[in-house]
Structure 1
Amino acid sequence: MNNNKTAIITGAGTGIGRGIALKFAENNFNLILASRNVDNLNKVKKDCDLLNNDSSYVIQTDITDEKSVDNLFLESKSKLGKIDILINNSGVFDGGPIDEMSVETWDKVINVNLRGAFLCLRQAMKLMKSQKYGRIVNIGSISGQVPRLNSVPYTTSKFGLTGLTKAAALEGRNFNVVVSIVHPGNVITELRTNRGEDKDIEPMMEPQDIAELVFLTVNLPSNVNLLESVMLPNTQLYVGRG
């Protein structure tokens, strides 16, 4: 294995995760692509390997399952030797009026967006503390700062992810482990199209735009942390959802 930077990207099969994977591959990162959908991951692997000469690996992972996440990190360490970066990107959206929402809907969103992020961060922190270095970037949302109507579980999960980020950043600092969160605004992804949103209703970014910010974040000097950042289309309504 070469000495290139190494990264695990969850939710790497589509959308923002795919955009980050391609940006990293373009810059000679060795990658672990993780998600439940192996078919999507294999498509991304093919694109990444064209950019960086067969330097990516696919590991099917359910981030809500503790054993599956443990296996992800064991296999990743075996394949790459070290893990420089974790991109906690996996996420789902569901919502509706609170009084009409099922517990199953709430649990589904919280389990992926918050529990899953915690399980991955926990394993990354163990490994990176032993290495005495590492970067973890959680992908949040502007909904974790200013809620949308009828998005209680999603909003709650992203507010929680911000808290997880800041608490973990405190724990990691004495071990040279840097933890950050990036809050995207509107991005054209399968997550939006699958819930029937018209991309022309509001201004949108491309996944590659977020990938640029994440790439900048992980390449900062090791003594610097861009703890929390927001990226959104310049004309997107945001403050107070006004």
Structure 2
Amino acid sequence: MMKLKGKTAIITGASAGIGQAIAEQLAAEGSNVVLAARSTGKLKDLAEKINQKTGGKALDVPTDVTDKSAVDELYNRAIDSFGTVDIYVNNAGLVLSSAITDREVGEWDKMVDVNIKGVLYGIDSVLPHMLEKASGHIVNIDSVSGHEVNKSSAVYAATKYAVRAISESLEKELARTGVKVSNISPGRVNTERVLKKLGDDPERKPLQPEDVAGAVVYAVTQPDYVNVNEIIVRPV
């Protein structure tokens, strides 16, 4: 039984890794998926794959989440194509130089723009629609770095602490409106971007993108009266 038949989800950062896995698993549950990322070729390929193999329909919309007008257009394209948005997954994110002593100010700016502003722009685009219909689910992909900091993660962790704060506050703001908020915080995940930045850890097998996607599917398929606010997913 497909638990999300007839629903529509927007997923940012959907062209690879965690975002791709989330899109595929939501579509497998019957949801229509609107795929957003800057990588147009990969995005189109994923949409074609989903349309051929799953119960949901896919629409690819190249989007830079740091551009508010582009994020608003992403929402409008979803409404024009499917008539509603039931799930919005803020997955787009950057892991760049984060130690303050590295003084990589340009990379800090990029992380703030994508990891914080991109999340806020996504929420702002979809929230009026969800409040009007008194239903919907906003899922923010955070990180264990939003819960703990090491000596090389200061700026990245700061952006992820911000995502966690946004999620916690928004959940309280939206209490009893019918709109849910979930914050999903994965540890080290086996994606090209993460392993390139952090390297391998021979003592611990990393998570797979599908493990994080499973947490998202769990959160968004709960009964109407259940709101899963926080999930932390760590490798053993």
- Fold shared by both chains (TM-score > 0.5): yes
For 1:240, the equivalent position in structure 2 comes to: none
Tell me if 1:110 matches 2:91.
no
RMSD: 1.7
Stretch of structure 1 that moved more, 196-205 or 86-95: 196-205
Normalising by structure 2, we get a TM-score of 0.93
Matches within 5 A, 1:1-242: 4-52=6-54, 55-195=57-197, 197-198=199-200, 200=202, 202-234=204-236
2:187–2:233 Cα contact (<8 Å) kept:
yes
2:12–2:91 Cα contact (<8 Å) kept:
yes
Please tell me the residue identity of whatever aligns with 2:70.
S
Residue-pair matches, total: 233
Equivalent residue of 2:139, what SS?
Answer: strand
Please tell me the residue identity of whatever aligns with 2:48.
K
Equivalent residue of 1:183, what SS?
Answer: strand
Equivalent residue of 2:164, what SS?
Answer: helix
Please tell me the residue identity of whatever aligns with 2:58.
S
Q: Output the CA distance in 2 between the equivalents of 1:96 and 1:132.
A: 39
Identity over aligned pairs, percent: 31
1:188–1:199 Cα contact (<8 Å) kept:
no
Please tell me the residue identity of whatever aligns with 1:15.
G
Please tell me the residue identity of whatever aligns with 2:177.
F
1:14–1:40 Cα contact (<8 Å) kept:
yes
**How many angstroms does 1:196 deviate by?**
6.2
Unpaired stretches in structure 1, ≥5 consecutive residues: 235-242
Please tell me the residue identity of whatever aligns with 2:190.
I
1:33–1:41 Cα contact (<8 Å) kept:
yes
Normalising by structure 1, we get a TM-score of 0.91
**How many angstroms does 1:109 deviate by?**
0.5
Unpaired stretches in structure 2, ≥5 consecutive residues: none
Q: Output the CA distance in 1 between the equivalents of 2:157 and 2:56.
A: 38
Q: Output the CA distance in 2 between the equivalents of 1:92 and 1:114.
A: 10
- Change beyond 3 A, Cα 1:132–1:96: closer
Following TM superposition, where does structure 1 have runs of at least 4 consecutive aligned residues deviating by more than 6 angstroms? Answer: none
